[in-house]
Amino acid sequence: MGGGGAGGSVKDVKSKVELDGLRQSGAPVILHFWASWCEPSKHMDQVFSHLSTDFPNSHFLRVEAEEQPEISEEYSVSAVPSFVFFKDGKVVDKLEGADPSSLANKVAKVAGSINPGEAAAPASLGMAAGPTVLETVQDLAKVNGTSQTGNQVQAGFDDKLKKRLQQLIDSHQVMLFMKGTPEEPKCGFSRKVVDVLKNEKVKFGTFDILSDNEVREGLKKFSNWPTFPQLYCKGELLGGCDIVISMHESGELKEVFRDHGVDIVGSEPGTGGTSEPTGLSANLNSRLQSLINSSPVMLFMKGKPDEPKCGFSHKVVEILKQEKVDFKSFDILTDDDVRQGLKVYSNWSSYPQLYIKGELIGGSDIVLEMQKSGDLQKILTEKGILKKETLEDRLRSLISSSPVMLFMKGTPDAPRCGFSSKVVNALKEEGVNFGSFDILTDDEVRQGLKVFSNWPTFPQLYYKGELIGGCDIVLELRNNGELKATLSE
């Protein structure tokens, strides 16, 4: 793929000097770091090429990341595909991963209008480069099992259901399809999105997908988005929990709502928030506060930890024991005043209820979700309830989590560098079962392991807690017929 830079083509950059010259040309520059062995890179390259045609007044440049380490290191590129955006010679944005929608939107922001006098695509549009982008997103969806095309891919159900779903999506400017209700979320992810929307102070409607299986399953096909919650703005899918939180933290969500004229919550009492406790006597209110704060970790449950009277209470007790947390409990079956009063006080109608340092965490579903995601351990550590694990303790635990343990870039099914890919293939060819850790997901582990092992690069392969080595050593062991024997001694 060649060409002369601006004018609707992609140029392969062969040196840092060449790149520096193009950066100073005055035109916007979009730089694609890719690798020929990486399938998502190839998909994104199609999107990149199409965008270069849509934005002919910008430079679209490609860099083979592993062949140009000087350029890759300068822009802290550690995985492919990655994109760096320049304006007036300066870096203004970055994108890592195969996300065609985000790439199109970021290009539109940096490069401006496709045609003079036309506005650039808004951040929430989800598409800025036409049918080729959509086809590529669909290809990526087949590879990844997910998609970010919103409700543009619609198939497999009748017009009646499609019409109903569209009516629901359009029923509010901001519409959230969630598990449960804002007052009683039935999963931690739904709760997080509700909290974000309340923080953004926008008016929003909701639909409990647990109450209607037809809507629940239909919306997955209609939106081509397999999980919940799903957040829509003016009929356009923004995404699920992780994307909404990311947009909120970056300020992009506020921009989307502002650009679309979304109504902001007024000052009328109770709008958009959780209602304050009402109808409780001063004595009961004081007693509930005292009970909640009687222990740093307090569980209101049915029965006692040794004799739970319901499966949900039993589940939370087991989770707290697994996390090795000291906690107190109160059997709400023994005191109806507490049982009924706490529902009002906490605005939470079911049991068990878990509190940490006086703050309601939620019921069994939310506690379980938080444990799986690591959020429970994080909040227990932040509140000083669990002793913070040292980095060395954590690294030893990770290294010993599997007899054969590979620290790599990406995952075995989707390596993010050629060296990691080679080691994975070598282990698979030898029929070796192994665990893995994606060091791109945790910079603390990534940097700490270099010091811990006195080995500065990745991948790193360990056997029974001992470092075997990196890519070259693993390949040498395989070529000598010693790899399988080394990993089974």
pLDDT attached to residue 148:
37
Q: Which residues contact 6 (CB under 8 A, 6 or more apart)?
A: 25, 27, 56, 57, 58, 59
pLDDT attached to residue 147:
36
User: How many CA atoms lie less than 13 Å away from 322 in the CB half-sphere?
Assistant: 13
pLDDT attached to residue 327:
93
Query: How many residues can be counted in the chain?
Result: 489
Joined together, the tokens standing for residue 487 give 């990993």
Joined together, the tokens standing for residue 370 give 């938080």
pLDDT attached to residue 120:
39
Residue of 391, 414, 337 lying closest to 144 (CA atoms) = 414
pLDDT attached to residue 127:
39
Architecture of domain 10-138: 3-Layer(aba) Sandwich (3.40)
pLDDT attached to residue 265:
67
pLDDT attached to residue 269:
35
Q: pLDDT tens per residue, the chain (489 residues)?
A: 443 344 458 999 988 888 988 888 888 999 999 887 777 788 788 888 888 887 888 899 999 887 787 888 788 776 778 899 998 888 888 888 877 878 888 888 888 744 444 433 333 333 344 444 444 444 554 444 433 333 333 334 577 888 889 889 988 889 999 988 999 888 778 888 999 999 998 989 999 998 888 888 888 888 877 778 899 988 888 888 878 887 888 787 887 788 777 877 653 333 333 334 446 788 888 899 999 999 999 999 988 999 888 778 888 999 999 888 899 999 999 998 999 899 888 888 778 999 999 889 888 888 988 888 888 888 888 888 876 668 888 899 999 999 999 999 999 999 988 999 999 999 999 999 999 999 999 989 999 999 999 998 999 999 999 999 999 999 999 999 999 888 876
pLDDT attached to residue 137:
47
pLDDT attached to residue 117:
42
Q: What is the CA radius of gyration of the chain?
A: 26
Rounded Cα–Cα distance for residues 133 and 115 (Å): 18
Amino acid in position 436 = S
Domain 282-382 carries which CATH code? 3.40.30.10
Architecture of domain 392-486: 3-Layer(aba) Sandwich (3.40)
Which helix (H) or strand (E) is 33 found in, with range? strand 29-34
Where are the domains positioned within the chain? Answer: 10-138, 149-259, 282-382, 392-486
Residue of 334, 345, 355, 352 lying closest to 292 (CA atoms) = 355
pTM of the model: 0.36
E strands present in 88-148: 90-96
Architecture of domain 149-259: 3-Layer(aba) Sandwich (3.40)
Within a 10 A sphere around the Cβ of 247, how many other Cβ atoms? 22
Rounded Cα–Cα distance for residues 80 and 304 (Å): 52
pLDDT attached to residue 223:
80
Q: Angle CA(237)–CA(238)–CA(239) in degrees, nearest 5?
A: 95
pLDDT attached to residue 243:
80
In our burial notation (b when 16+ CB lie closer than 10 A, e otherwise), range 170-185 reads: eebbbbbbbbbebebb
pLDDT attached to residue 118:
43
User: How many CA atoms lie less than 13 Å away from 187 in the CB half-sphere?
Assistant: 18
E strands present in 142-217: 174-178, 205-208
